[in-house]
Structure 1
């Protein structure tokens, strides 16, 4: 989809939260929606058992869950969302340990992008210490991971949610007359 030089379609923002089902996810979701608007989708809680990376900090029996915001934004707005999510991570921490791992991202018709403070060779620096990480290629009925894609995203367990989210986003673009 080409809109003309220097013109880009808005994106659909979502948030990934790793949590332990202790009620903080719901509390966070309610608070962040006051900051960034109505939530229009929410995934089921997926068991997060692909790695023990967060176990020392967050404990066992972790889940990853996603939700998206109804309103579309410019792509670079994701930096503002990440900064606010970092504040919430700190707010919910106890004794210097996170109880929520909060990673915002966005989709457009072609890709899923997460943002992070961690720089690596495949990530693109945006601003204010935030990097973009293109994690998945999105197609009409297919999702393709990259070599660097996180194992849980690579596994396909989230594909149904993200393909549905892409369809919702595509319908929003049609309503806005950005695509036919």
Structure 2
């Protein structure tokens, strides 16, 4: 029988996209107010790899990533996704945009070995967590870089995304060194 061990906390990541810059700003403020300060934020990327979201979100989507300063328990992913879904609805109700879904927030987490994203959609490669939320390993880190899987979304295969996730990984490793490298026995 294997020993059950407590998992180290992980780096909270949120992928945020919209055609409205105000929606991205609103989400960054909400992230910081509820989940803690933003440690790293990416530039805005054109979301150009698919037209899947155009019907509900409109054209010319921009995506950005936020990474939290505060490390989190990976077991919190369902609650984080449910909160993000609530924020999307809150933003939609408070703003008069033409789109049915003016904002999309996808939380996940990053470890030294992988990027995990939460989803409400079941697929053959996703594991059910709880409360209607699934998780997938979207990228994994091997051979000195981020590697994709056959199910990795096309935009997550981009080098500029990988550069940001590498910065996040370096930040997380620094946090681990600070947090877990105290004197022996302490």
After TM superposition, is the score higher than 0.5?
A: yes
Partner of 1:71: 70
CA contact (8 A) 2:57 2:99 kept: no
CA contact (8 A) 2:138 2:152 kept: yes
Partner of 1:33: 32
Structure 1: distance between partners of 2:176 and 2:125: 29
Alignment of 1:15-164 (within 5 A): 15-93=14-92, 97-139=100-142, 141-164=144-167
- Give the structure with the larger helix fraction: 2
Shift of 1:24: 1.2
Which deviations, in whole Å up to 9, do the C-alpha atoms of 1:40-93 show, x marking residues without a partner? 110000100100011111111111100111011111112221111000111122
CA contact (8 A) 1:48 1:62 kept: yes
Q: Which sits farther off after the overlay, 137-146 or 156-165?
A: 137-146
How many residues align? The count is 176
TM-score, normalisation: structure 1: 0.92
CA contact (8 A) 2:20 2:102 kept: no
Structure 1: distance between partners of 2:48 and 2:180: 41
Partner of 1:177: 180
Q: How well do the aligned residues superpose, as a CA RMSD in angstroms?
A: 1.8
CA contact (8 A) 2:118 2:135 kept: yes
Greater Rg over alpha carbons, structure = 2
Structure 1: distance between partners of 2:142 and 2:11: 15
Mind listing any 5+ residue stretches in structure 1 that lack a counterpart? none
Structure 1: distance between partners of 2:132 and 2:98: 24
Shift of 1:22: 3.1
Structure 1: distance between partners of 2:76 and 2:181: 19
